[in-house]
Amino acid sequence: MANHDAHHDGHDHDHDHTEGNRQYYPKGWWIPLVALVVFAIGFAGLGGWLFSLSGTDRWGKHSAHDEHGHGGHKTEMAAHHDGDKHEADLKNTPENDSMPAADSGMVMTKLSDGKEISGATNGIESMLVSFINDAARPVDKTTWFTFDRLVFETGKSTLNLNDAGTLAQLDNMAAILKSSPNVALKIGGYTDNTGNKEANQKLSQQRAESVMAEIVKRGIAANRLAAEGYGDQFPKADNATEEGRAQNRRIDVRVTKK
């Protein structure tokens, strides 16, 4: 019996340390492991915070703070770079004095007196200034430049002076003439071929004179300007379409002296 009890006690003793094949670990063994995990997470968070102070994330993008705090400077620099490239691309072209303006499709044209005026890309301002400044291009009777923002009241010779584009273009023309005091211009008025031919001739003359008068009001001597109406002569486009007729209703200028 004693041997049996001893054997039984030993069996119980062994059973206290194993349960099947599962090892027994002391109570609280997991506490150091949890502490280690918490420490690792905290360290990673601290590292991320410090890295964020650099203003970039791992993809190389500026942080939200940087976009708002310094985005204006970045945009300004990009625009300046694009402007330099644009100027270089325009060398030996009629728009070689032009650079991009803020508005899409517009350029700033620098005049000989240093003033800058805004006009449409390939508009009358940049092309006229280029012609005036190009000594290799003599005055002739065939080179005309078309106003691209003038607005008249329908069927009348009255300019719409409430229209911002009209005012800007009249001001620009006066500025160009002030910057080039030796230049003289002829203003030509044109209509489409609808309606009475004689009435169209008269309207075109009056419109050319209206433009001339507005330029004179802006400080340009009248003897530097001339105005003539051509009615439906010299169309630029096909009068059979509304688009063509709209192009033919226009005011042009030609340099007569430079």
CA angle 233, 235, 237 (to 5 degrees): 165
| Region 160-184 average pLDDT | 97
CA 5, CA 18: separation in Å to the nearest integer? 20
User: For the domain with range 102-257, which CATH number is right: 3.30.1330.60, 3.90.960.10, 3.60.20.10, 2.60.120.260?
Assistant: 3.30.1330.60
- pLDDT, averaged across the chain: 73
- How sure is the predictor about 249, in pLDDT bands with cuts at 50, 70 and 90? very high
- pTM here is 0.61
Between these two residues, 127 and 22, which has the higher pLDDT value?
127
* The amino acid at 172: N
- How sure is the predictor about 55, in pLDDT bands with cuts at 50, 70 and 90? very low
pLDDT given for residue 60 in this prediction: 27
pLDDT at 168 > cutoff 80: yes
CA 89, CA 81: separation in Å to the nearest integer? 12
pLDDT at 218 > cutoff 80: yes
Longest pairwise C-alpha distance within the chain: 144
- 222 DSSP assignment: G
CA 122, CA 150: separation in Å to the nearest integer? 16
Between these two residues, 24 and 69, which has the higher pLDDT value?
24
pLDDT given for residue 41 in this prediction: 60
% of the chain at pLDDT higher than 90: 57
What is the C-alpha radius of gyration for the chain, rounded to an integer number of angstroms?
Answer: 41
Between these two residues, 216 and 106, which has the higher pLDDT value?
216
Give pLDDT tens digits for 143-154. Answer: 999 999 999 998
- Return the domain boundaries, the chain: 2-52, 102-257
Between these two residues, 257 and 59, which has the higher pLDDT value?
257
- Residue 99's nearest CA partner among 113, 89, 109 is 109
- How sure is the predictor about 155, in pLDDT bands with cuts at 50, 70 and 90? confident
